[in-house]
Amino acid sequence: MPQQMQTIIVFVPFVIMGAAVVALVVSGIYDLIRPLFDNRFVSSDAKKTQDDAHDGARGDASHPMRDVRRSPMRRLADWWRTLRDRNDDDDDEPDEDLDETTSSLLAMLPDATVVVNRHDEVVRAHPSAYTLGIVNDETIANAEVRAAIQLVRESGGRRRFDLTTHTAAPEVVVDNPDALLVGGVSEATRGSVKVQGVERPNWLKVTVGRVGEFVVVLIDDVSEPIRFAGMRDAFITNVSEQLLEPTKALEQLSDSLANDALDAEQVAWNAHQVRSSCDRLDRMVSDLLLLIKAQEPVAPSSANRLSVADLLHDACDATCDRACKFGVSVVTDCDRPLVVNGDREQLTAAVAKLIDNAIVYSPASGTVRVAASPSDDGDHTLIRVIDQGGGIPKDEQTHIFERFYRGANQTARSREGVGLGLAIVKHVALAHHGNVTVWSRPGSGSTFTLELPLAR
């Protein structure tokens, strides 16, 4: 390598280091004399303001070349002050996110959390806050929570209160069920219709407090214990009421035997009443136990993959005797190999309840059709149970999934039920991360659609 090149290579680092030292020295000197500049120019600016006011009073247009005649040092100082003030303004802006320590602490809490900034914008939210109806489109959707946030921001402290929300019932658009009943329907009955879904109440304990510039909302979902308590109370109340019938029938039978009223017909009738009441009580207890099991969500796994065709086959077998008894035929249609995740006992019982319900409300020699197909988006399977009964009035369709609800259009067949079948279907659907909807029109029958996620 030439001697000159070696000299340059050695000399350049020293030049860079020297320039850095000079820059540091200049910066230090300026920091020392900056107060002098600031005081001088503040006084000068005040004097300039007074002169401008005086000139304005005289109608003078001032001096257009005054700013041009400013010294370079004056202009450099003004530029430095502008840059410094801009940095100070940036430092005054509050951080729009929580610090790492607070974020880690909130992540450890078992409750769902929502963080709201000073503009009432949601900067962080647990996914369940959306499903519980607290957050929607990055804003607080519930009026009570908004009021608590405003109160905490103004007066500090914390607010705790109980809150009940409802997961909105989705309006599901499906093909017109009339087109599924018979093949040759008129064009007027084809198309799509909206069907009524089910909604679920959520019982929450909400705590609102302030952390720095932010307001944090803690959401404790206590819905499951409250549902279980409601189920337990309903079980005790309704079982107690249902026990009265077999008890009364047993009392009548024992009176007949004790009074030597051994009329064969009367004894047979009393015995029949006892048997019917016991059968009704047995069905109710079985349904309530199944309803309690359906409160626990079912997690998808490779061990609970189920064929939809097998589920329909098992459900039809379970209702075969009832269909033969009432002279109703059941037709199934499931050509595609659809697979879902779930509990076989619960899903079979849910489909069987829908089929049994359709059989009970169908006329003699009627047909109940059970069909399964994938949804339009390919993510769910739709199990439809279609009957040719009298239909359900519109005002009753929002109540038929409630426990022990009995509609006004009861028949001699349906009086044997206890009003738990459709409640079981609803809770089984929710436990399997699905939904159940109903389409019905008086005089045109009903279509119940059980929607379940397809297995992945």
| DSSP codes joined into one string, 90-105 | HHHSPPSS--HHHHHH
Cα separations (Å) of 205 from 49, 160, 222, 270?
60, 7, 7, 52
**Is residue 198 over pLDDT 70?**
no
The closest alpha carbon to 419, from 223, 169, 242, belongs to 242
- Report how far residue 370's alpha carbon sits from residue 354's, in angstroms, rounded to the nearest whole number: 9
**Tokens 């230090």 found at:** 28
- Report how far residue 23's alpha carbon sits from residue 289's, in angstroms, rounded to the nearest whole number: 82
The pLDDT assigned to 370 comes to: 93
Q: Which helix (H) or strand (E) holds 229?
A: helix 223-258
The pLDDT assigned to 18 comes to: 74
The pLDDT assigned to 260 comes to: 64
Tokens of 225: 């214990």
The pLDDT assigned to 188 comes to: 36
For residues 359 and 324, the answer to whether their CB atoms sit within 8 Å is no
User: How many other β-carbons are positioned within 10 Å of the β-carbon of residue 245?
Assistant: 16
- Report how far residue 124's alpha carbon sits from residue 416's, in angstroms, rounded to the nearest whole number: 52
- Report how far residue 36's alpha carbon sits from residue 27's, in angstroms, rounded to the nearest whole number: 15
What CA dihedral angle connects 357, 362, 365 and 370, to 10 degrees? -50
**Is residue 152 over pLDDT 50?**
yes
* C-alpha gyration radius of the chain: 39
**Is residue 287 over pLDDT 90?**
no
The closest alpha carbon to 372, from 339, 324, 329, 400, belongs to 339
**Tokens 């009298």 found at:** 390
HSE-up of 37 (CA within 13 Å, CB side)? 16
pLDDT per residue as tens digits for the range 320-362? 988 898 899 999 888 778 999 999 999 999 999 999 989 988 8
Please indicate whether residue 26 or residue 357 has the higher confidence score (pLDDT). 357
- Report how far residue 220's alpha carbon sits from residue 222's, in angstroms, rounded to the nearest whole number: 6
Measure CA 102 to chain center.
26
pLDDT per residue as tens digits for the range 386-405? 998 888 888 888 888 887 77
- Is 369 exposed, middle or buried, given 0-12, 13-18 or 19+ CB atoms closer than 10 A? buried
HSE-up of 262 (CA within 13 Å, CB side)? 1
The pLDDT assigned to 67 comes to: 45
